[in-house]
Amino acid sequence: MAVVADSVQQRLRDEQVLAVIRAGSAAEAVQAGRALAEGGVRALEVAFTTPDAAAAIGELAADPELFVGAGTVLSGAQAHAAIDAGATFLVSPSLVPDALAVAREAGVLALPGALTPTEVVAAAEQAEVVKLFPASLGGVSYLKALLAPLPDLRIVPTGGVSAANASEWLAAGAFAVGAGGDLCPPGLIAEGRFDELTRRARGYREALGTGEEA
């Protein structure tokens, strides 16, 4: 089981940018995911705030080119639903013991959310990768300060990440970055402006020097 999670960790590190999709419907989430992938961002986190999120996860996960997981996982039941649908990783805004237990049993990577040093260390004791959230509160300097005494932590900052600062987060030691509001705003998804999502995804790839892979 650990081998599965390890391979997923490597994929996350390779992708660098994890798109956080919050949509008004499963169909919109799927369209958003495909638009982002067209722009080169293929790591997709479909939040459970999206109605019928599991259906969207299942449809996107059917594409072998995409790296698909679930976000805002707040219970064991949601964790089960996401994994059954094909999610290869689970992300939570906080430490959710039931979700972590399901992930461990299934051999799926879990990224619990934490902010303070105490929370981050507690999360790292139960998961190999931790989501720093909301990362905007401390910024890049906070991540640097956090990693100074804890250099082995694998941290994915989310909240406050943009195309303009994504490279700064990675240079500061982030394992990868989670981008939602700047990369795929719910408003643009609701308006059906999926071409703009593709453009923004390309902007992230260009900012990270990987535009040729899009």
Instruction: Tell me the CB-side half-sphere exposure of residue 120, using CA atoms within 13 A.
Output: 23
Q: Is 87 contained in some domain? A: yes
In a domain, 213, yes or no: no
Q: Within a domain: residue 214?
A: no
- Whether residue 177 is contained in a domain is answered as yes
Q: Please list, in sequence order, all residues whose beta carbon lies within 8 angstroms of the beta carbon of residue 53, skipping any fewer than 6 positions away.
A: 26, 29, 46, 47, 70, 82
The CATH number assigned to the domain holding 42 equals 3.20.20.70
Q: Is 108 contained in some domain?
A: yes
212 falls within a domain: no
Q: Is the peptide bond before 112 cis (omega within 30 degrees of 0)?
A: no
Catalytic residue among 15, 28, 59, 131: 131
The verdict on whether 45 is a catalytic residue reads yes
d(CA 148, CA 85): 38
Whether residue 165 is contained in a domain is answered as yes
Integer Cα distance of 102 and 107 in angstroms:
8
Catalytic residue among 45, 119, 125, 212: 45
For the question of whether the overall pTM of this predicted structure is more than 0.85, the answer is: yes
As for how many domains the chain has, the answer is 1
Domain that holds residue 9: 2-207
What would the pLDDT profile of 18-61 be if each residue is shown by its tens digit? 999 999 999 999 999 999 999 999 999 999 999 999 999 999 99
Residue 136 clears pLDDT 50, i.e. is over it: yes
Known active-site residue 131 = yes
